[in-house]
Structure 1
Amino acid sequence: MNVTDKNTLWPMGRAQRRASKTRTKLLDAALVVFSEVGVDAASIERITDKADVGKGTFYRHFADKHQLLQALIEDALEKLNARIADDTGMSQSLEGLLERLFDEHVEFFSRHMEQYILLFQGRMLIKLGRDADGAIEAPYLRYLDTLEKQIRPFVPAGIESFKMRRLSCAIAGFVFGFFSFGIIGMSREEMVDSIRPLRKAFVDSMARFLAKDNKQEPQ
């Protein structure tokens, strides 16, 4: 079977396949190293040793560690976005939608814990002002946009954009926050069981927030 680059419909030649394979090795190695020692402690040398390639090879694919981190975050959030946007069950209520969104996050993060650790670190770098060009933040904003698109059919018409963003941030914060302590010593089954009563309380709280907003008189 011919390998095809995701940015083109033309089959890849031998050199392109080799380059793509090397790039994947670097990404896989960096994901492991970032999750093991953190972004700051992860040196390019450590990543190339893990990938079993030379530093020169690294710089043929990435300008620096920041660009590599950006590529990993984009890939992880693209996969998560695809899951939460695929509403094949056609949620019939806000409660049903939120339950589905939680299920998708729990399933994704519990099966891809290294990606969760990476995304958590990325959020911290943004909060600490370590993303001067906004390259790391951009995929997170697209992720929040995807959440808002899912929520939109279940909120009052004309709701302010800042409230929509608050809702999407609340969902993201709830899931990321839960996993931040759940990964310390819980098994996947324990995390699923532990989050169930918490997410019910969250769903009820969000439903009350929207119901209250819907009853407010137009200004």
Structure 2
Amino acid sequence: MENSKRRFLKGCGGLLAGISVYTVTKSPLASNGEPEPQVKYAMVHDESLCIGCLACEDACREVNQVPEGVTRLKILRTGPFGEYPDQRYHFRRHSCQHCESAPCVKVCPTGAAYIDKETGIVAVNEDRCVGCQYCIAACPYQVRFINPETKAADKCDFCQQTQLSQGLQPACVQACPTRALVFGNIKDPTSELVKLLKSKPSYREKVDLGTRPKLFHIQTIDGELVL
């Protein structure tokens, strides 16, 4: 009897675990019974090419009129590594990941946070935002903030309302002097973005959460491989 009870409880635990994983990872588009869009924008930050000049930050602020004190984009610097005069730094982009399964969208009570069906961009309708900050608390990447001028949630939207609306690349991509940023349609196998991802190893942040981020990083690898 005790063995049967143990097997029953084990089976229930496995079933519940499966349900939890499925809830986190299933596609929001598939759950609505809607077809996958033909355009799904993504970005690659090649850390091996980034020199930390911050031109991307400045361009983002200027084009999108981001107030001082907050930012849609940060380049995080770590280091120095090595001995002088051969010291070097590593630079990593910190911004919205444009998750396919976005926690910020799921918790928004007004629908102000949403995934654009035509582009896959995680966006904010500031007219519907009530400033509750649920999305800020839910974002595992800590990239959202309250815009001090609009009083609405704000973040990187790949310049959806500015550059993209004019058929241009995001401001950060255009400003990068070393072409460390590549933007494009991940559904298009002929795009520069897809070709780059196929040619170099990349990583994404916190993929274990099931968010399926569309910000990819190509890591800088220094020195000899140690096994």
| TM-score bucket of the superposed structures, by smaller chain | under 0.3
TM-score calculated relative to the size of structure 2:
0.27
More helix by share: 1
TM-score calculated relative to the size of structure 1:
0.28
Greater relative contact order structure (CA < 8 Å, 6+ sep): 2
